[in-house]
Amino acid sequence: MTWSATVLTLFPEMFPGPLDVSLLGKARQKELWSLEVRDIREHGIGKHRTVDDTTAGGGPGMVMRADVACAAIDAVERAGRPLIYLSPRGAPLTQTRVEGLSQGAGAILLCGRFEGVDERALEARAVEEVSLGDFVLAGGEIAAMALIEASVRLIPGVLGAQASPAEESFAAGLLEYPQYTRPQTFEGRDIPEVLLGGNHAEITRFRREAAERLTKSRRPDLWTLYEKRKR
């Protein structure tokens, strides 16, 4: 079955956008994955298709109405897919989660705007919240694209032979080792000798050590987890 994403958004014109270039775009043509974009405004209230209102309790900004959000959600066929609201309050997206998503049927992604979505809609439909990171975007669309791109590139056949997800950052709980290509010398800097020697055991060890060193210095949080798992 084709991995399928359904995006609920107030700005459908943002899609497919960057999801249609390069290998992901080709993979979509080959029907390795599919994208359906639904305009939340179709479920808006009245002649003006109103989707939001002022925040209860006061304060700046507007909130997406629960009835509108739920009508948009209910119009989508679940097809065994998780229902996710992209939100800075959500669990930060990780490669482990992305791997899980890529092995499933796809995802239904609700994109907020303004101050977010009425809490009752999230409760009533048991919506899971996922965050792109500890910063605030203007809307959920770019976060949804990131989630889709990260998931789809792991679907067998999408990247082709030229990349191996098993070797890259986070796959083993480490950041990736540094990469080099021609020229052999650049502004006085050489490619590390061992990489040119053809001794695969040595190369593997060199890369492992470099990955560990990088992870330890840049991401002590990942390093701690990695060490715990090794024990």
Q: What's phi and psi for 201, nearest 5 deg?
A: -65, -45
Residue numbers 126-185 binding ligand SAH by CB under 6 A: 131-133, 135-137, 139-140, 143
With vertex at residue 63, the alpha carbon angle to CA 36 and CA 86, rounded to the nearest 5 degrees, is 40
The per-residue DSSP string of 72-92 comes to: HHHTS--TT--EEEEEEEEEE
CB of 153 to ligand SAH, least distance (A): 19
Verify binding: residue 89, ligand SAH, rule CB under 6 A.
yes
CB of 45 to ligand SAH, least distance (A): 19
Verify binding: residue 88, ligand SAH, rule CB under 6 A.
yes
Distance CA 187, CA 7 (A): 47
C-beta of residue 68 within 8 angstroms of C-beta of residue 46: no
CB of 94 to ligand SAH, least distance (A): 13
CB of 43 to ligand SAH, least distance (A): 17
Percent helix, strand, coil in the chain (nearest 5)? Answer: 40, 20, 40
Which residue of 111, 145, 175, 211 would you call a contact of ligand SAH, by CB under 6 A? 111
Which residue of 44, 106, 116, 173 would you call a contact of ligand SAH, by CB under 6 A? 116
Which residue's beta carbon is nearest to the bound ligand SAH?
Answer: 112
Distance CA 177, CA 206 (A): 9
Which residue of 86, 98, 158, 214 would you call a contact of ligand SAH, by CB under 6 A? 86
